[in-house]
Amino acid sequence: MSKLAIVKVRLDREVNGYIVSCSSTKEAVVVDPGLPVEKIAEQLKGLKVRYILATHCHPGHVAGKDDLKELVGGETALHSADAKQFLRSADRYLVDGDELEFGEFKLTVLHTPGHTPGSVCFVVANHAFVGDTILAGGIGKQTPETDLRRQMMSIGTKLLRLPLATALYPGHGPATSLEREMAQNPIFRGAPAPR
């Protein structure tokens, strides 16, 4: 059985980039192509990049996408609502429910607007790459584009539907799990329990 490998790359502005790859086919997906791209490319040796995906279009999470593509190939993708908000383009525009295949794995796109209008989370098996929608012990820094009410709604209707054991890989800070955040994250105080 092929295994999923996840490598975290620490990028400028304290952004976490992730390289998710299939151990048997060596096909990979990059989540959040920030800068410097060389640091990401270094970790991609021996892997074939299928997609370069942005959880949202704040510069720290997306600034390296075109340079990285030039270096390592792959198709760039982001949500159209953020393309519009931040005047960014990509090879492909993601919508809720999209499924992207790499190797023997499948990545599902969840549109989770709030932090930005086009924020998305990426789910692979029991792992979720959640950008700034939720961090360990909090949420991403609020910006003028942030709609907090919508963000809480996205967390409640999309993320809380995932199994409790789902590991969460945020755009900043340490990895966590849905279960741990349900118990400890202040945003869940008073939130309805998941079904």
Compute the least distance from the CB of residue 33 to Zn ion, in Å. 13
* Residue nearest Zn ion by beta-carbon distance: 58
Q: Which is nearer to Zn ion, 27 or 132 (CB)?
A: 132
Binding segment for Zn ion among 45-53, 54-62, 161-169, 173-181 (CB under 5 A)?
54-62
58 near Zn ion, judged by CB under 5 A:
yes
The amino acid present at 62, given as its one-letter code, is V
Q: Which is nearer to Zn ion, 117 or 171 (CB)?
A: 171
Based on CB atoms, which residue is closest to Zn ion, 21 or 176?
A: 176
Residues 6+ apart with CB under 8 A from 36: 11, 12, 64
How do beta strands 127-131 and 167-170 pair?
parallel
Q: How many CB atoms lie within 10 A of CB 188?
A: 18
CB of 140 to Zn ion, least distance (A): 5
Task: Output the smallest distance, CB 32 to Zn ion, in A.
Answer: 8
What is the nearest approach in angstroms of Zn ion to the Cβ of residue 172? 6
Residues 6 or more apart from 150 whose CB is under 8 A from it? Answer: 113, 114
Of positions 27, 32, 82, 132, contacts Zn ion by CB under 5 A: 132
Site map for Zn ion, 163-182, x if CB under 5 A? --------x-----------
**Binding site residues, Zn ion, CB under 5 A:** 58, 132, 140, 171
